[in-house]
């Protein structure tokens, strides 16, 4: 989201500026420390009349944290009492955000938070910290970030001043640190040397980017005009992933339903992707016990989309208003899309599996051995048949294997027959070899030599024993990571209608898995 600060001195000029800013940006920051005798209700009204969906941020910056751009004289300091009264008025007027510095203390911050709770208000609290002279070390910035988080901030804002170009890297690293912890952050560097961070921070997931109107006054040195910001964002975003950002002030929300979900990498992957796509919405995991109640929650809260994982992929289908043809054929749902209140179930597991498999081999006319007969095996059989391939099922429990084979009219063999089957690829859909039992493999190493391509749907660990053995036997390998990111990208496409940043998603999940692999 792009935010334009209103920094005019007089109420009259500020009213004009608030209206113009509301039309040009996603949010308007009313700098009540600069607008002398600013009439907050009229200013908010002017902005909302100009653009009803614009977000309003109300700020009374402390003098010691206030940057003084060229040509702007320092303004007066409000007493703390007057400042608190003004922020409380902003809450009463249902401003979207109030900004209060960490330096004002936890009591002052807590007072605003309890007022919002009492009023059941929608205002969110930005807890901010600025250094108008320098950028401290990343370690120090992390300490400041942690102190802001401890206050219960809805959004943390950290803005030091860049003296050198590499100061920008510290705030970009801080944004990553915050996003890994699921905390919304606004971070950038002030100063001419900080302009790189003003452009790159929103692309890395900073919640707000500050810009000025073409004729407007800067509230901090280094700010770019709103048209320059928009142009640079489009250019960079096109160059990075071929997609154009669209900032949506409403902000959808997405959830994961499953049990357990604590170790899921979906929140990390989806939140990185949503930020890179410029979509103002968070993805959160919920460990649920009752899928029907969870679906009712999605309806009640008007959640825009959900992922569904074990053990609810089948149970959830019956609680929805409709199923896609693929989800109905599979009898399993891993994605819910909220279409104007109607919850529709989809399945992207088979899409992800097929797209990953295509990285290793053609599918039409080829034979594929599928190890296992559970939900993922079903997705594999379905997708391979749909694309003109021939699936062959191999499962340890013969009845379950036969049932799946009968449903899709394909052959089924016991595991002992594996060495005699000639096929283009073997796909493991059993959990054998998954963390923590990483030394196990569902297939003896020598048997793998029969298969030019071996795919494992397991992605934790990244390199399973099966894939290591297959590589050693000279097979081409396809990892479960590829399936995971592609099924996630297909979910994002369903929820947003836009292509997801696949390379970014792959990189963040790979990085996290490598960290886990290294202990």
Q: Which residues bind ligand NAP (CB under 6 A)?
A: 310, 349, 352, 372-377, 395-397, 400, 429-432, 434, 442, 457-459, 480, 483-484, 487
CB-based contact 337:307 (threshold 8 Å): no
Q: State the minimum distance, in angstroms, from the CB of residue 70 to ligand NAP.
A: 53
Residue with smaller CB distance to ligand NAP, 237 or 429 = 429
The DSSP code for 367 is: E
Q: State the minimum distance, in angstroms, from the CB of residue 467 to ligand NAP.
A: 12
> Which residues, 6 or more positions from 120, have their beta carbon under 8 angstroms from its beta carbon?
none
> Which residues, 6 or more positions from 344, have their beta carbon under 8 angstroms from its beta carbon?
320, 321, 322, 323, 324, 336, 337
Q: Per 3-state DSSP, what percentage of the chain is helix, strand, and coil (rounded to 5)? A: 45, 20, 40
**Maximal CA-CA distance, the chain:** 86
Compute the distance between CA of residue 485 and CA of residue 265 in angstroms, rounded to an integer: 10
Please report, to the nearest 10 degrees, the dihedral formed by the alpha carbons of residues 509, 510, 512, 518 taken in order: 160
**Active-site annotation holds for 313:** yes
List the structure tokens of 6.
Answer: 């209103």
Please report, to the nearest 10 degrees, the dihedral formed by the alpha carbons of residues 194, 196, 198, 201 taken in order: -120
Residue with smaller CB distance to ligand NAP, 156 or 255 = 255
Residues in the chain: 519
Residue with tokens 């930020």: 275
Residue with smaller CB distance to ligand NAP, 148 or 443 = 443
Residue 429's nearest CA partner among 371, 479, 347 is 371
Residue with smaller CB distance to ligand NAP, 283 or 484 = 484
CB-based contact 188:197 (threshold 8 Å): yes
Q: State the minimum distance, in angstroms, from the CB of residue 182 to ligand NAP.
A: 21
Q: State the minimum distance, in angstroms, from the CB of residue 366 to ligand NAP.
A: 21
Q: State the minimum distance, in angstroms, from the CB of residue 58 to ligand NAP.
A: 44
The DSSP code for 32 is: T
Residue with smaller CB distance to ligand NAP, 121 or 431 = 431
The DSSP code for 78 is: P
Residue with smaller CB distance to ligand NAP, 38 or 352 = 352
Compute the distance between CA of residue 260 and CA of residue 436 in angstroms, rounded to an integer: 16
Q: State the minimum distance, in angstroms, from the CB of residue 401 to ligand NAP.
A: 7
Compute the distance between CA of residue 54 and CA of residue 25 in angstroms, rounded to an integer: 8
Residue 105's nearest CA partner among 90, 89, 127, 121 is 127
HEC sequence for 48-62: HHHCCCCEEEEECCC
Q: State the minimum distance, in angstroms, from the CB of residue 232 to ligand NAP.
A: 35
Residue with smaller CB distance to ligand NAP, 115 or 434 = 434
Residue with smaller CB distance to ligand NAP, 196 or 376 = 376
Compute the distance between CA of residue 445 and CA of residue 458 in angstroms, rounded to an integer: 17
CB-based contact 305:284 (threshold 8 Å): no
C-beta nearest to ligand NAP: residue: 374
Q: State the minimum distance, in angstroms, from the CB of residue 453 to ligand NAP.
A: 16
Compute the distance between CA of residue 233 and CA of residue 240 in angstroms, rounded to an integer: 10
Catalytic, out of 313, 400, 468, 471: 313
- Just list the catalytic residues: 313
């Amino acid at each position: 989201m792009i935010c334009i600060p209103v920094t005019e001195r007089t109420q009259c000029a500020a009213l004009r500026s608030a209206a113009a800013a509301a039309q040009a940006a996603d949010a308007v920051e009313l700098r009540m420390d600069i607008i002398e005798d600013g009439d907050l209700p009229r200013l908010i009204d002017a902005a909302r009349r100009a653009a009803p969906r614009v977000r309003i941020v109300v700020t009374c910056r402390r003098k010691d944290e206030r940057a003084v751009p060229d040509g702007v004289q320092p303004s007066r300091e409000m007493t703390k009492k007057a400042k608190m009264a003004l922020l409380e008025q902003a809450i009463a007027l249902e401003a979207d955000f109030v900004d209060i510095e960490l330096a004002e203390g936890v009591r002052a911050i807590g007072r605003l938070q309890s007022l919002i709770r009492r009023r059941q208000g929608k205002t969110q609290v930005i807890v901010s910290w600025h250094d108008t002279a320098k950028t401290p070390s990343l370690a120090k910035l992390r300490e400041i970030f942690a102190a802001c988080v401890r206050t219960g901030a809805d959004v943390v804002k950290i803005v030091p001043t860049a003296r050198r170009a590499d100061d920008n890297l510290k705030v970009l690293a801080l944004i990553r640190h915050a996003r890994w912890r699921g905390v919304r952050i606004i971070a950038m560097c002030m100063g001419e040397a900080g302009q790189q961070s003003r452009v790159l921070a929103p692309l890395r997931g900073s919640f707000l980017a500050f810009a000025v109107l073409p004729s407007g006054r800067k509230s901090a040195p280094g700010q770019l005009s709103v048209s320059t910001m928009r142009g640079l964002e489009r250019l960079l975003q096109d160059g990075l992933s071929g997609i154009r950002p669209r900032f949506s002030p409403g902000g959808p929300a997405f959830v994961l339903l499953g049990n357990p979900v604590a170790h899921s990498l979906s929140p990390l992957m989806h939140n990185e992707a949503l930020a890179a796509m410029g979509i103002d919405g968070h993805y959160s995991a919920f460990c649920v016990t009752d899928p029907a109640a969870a679906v009712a929650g999605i309806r009640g809260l008007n959640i825009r989309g959900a992922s569904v994982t074990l053990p609810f992929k089948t149970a959830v289908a019956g609680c929805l208003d409709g199923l896609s043809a693929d989800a109905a054929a599979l009898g399993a749902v891993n994605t819910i899309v909220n279409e104007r209140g109607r919850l529709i179930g989809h399945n992207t597991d088979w899409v992800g599996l097929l797209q990953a498999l295509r990285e290793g081999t053609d599918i039409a006319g080829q034979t594929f051995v599928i190890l296992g007969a559970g939900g993922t095996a079903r997705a594999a059989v379905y997708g391979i048949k749909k694309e003109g391939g021939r699936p062959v099922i191999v499962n340890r429990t013969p009845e379950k294997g036969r049932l799946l084979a009968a449903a899709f009219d394909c052959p089924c063999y016991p595991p002992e027959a594996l060495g005699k089957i000639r096929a283009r690829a073997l796909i493991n859909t059993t959990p054998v070899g998954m963390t923590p039992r990483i030394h196990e493999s569902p297939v003896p190493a020598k048997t793998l030599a029969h298969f030019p391509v071996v795919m494992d749907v397991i992605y934790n660990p990244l390199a399973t024993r099966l894939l290591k053995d297959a590589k050693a036997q000279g097979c081409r390998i396809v990892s479960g990571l590829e399936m995971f990111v592609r099924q996630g990208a297909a979910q994002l496409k369903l929820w947003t209608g836009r292509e997801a940043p696949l390379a970014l998603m792959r990189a963040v999940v790979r990085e996290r898995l490598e960290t886990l692999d290294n202990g």
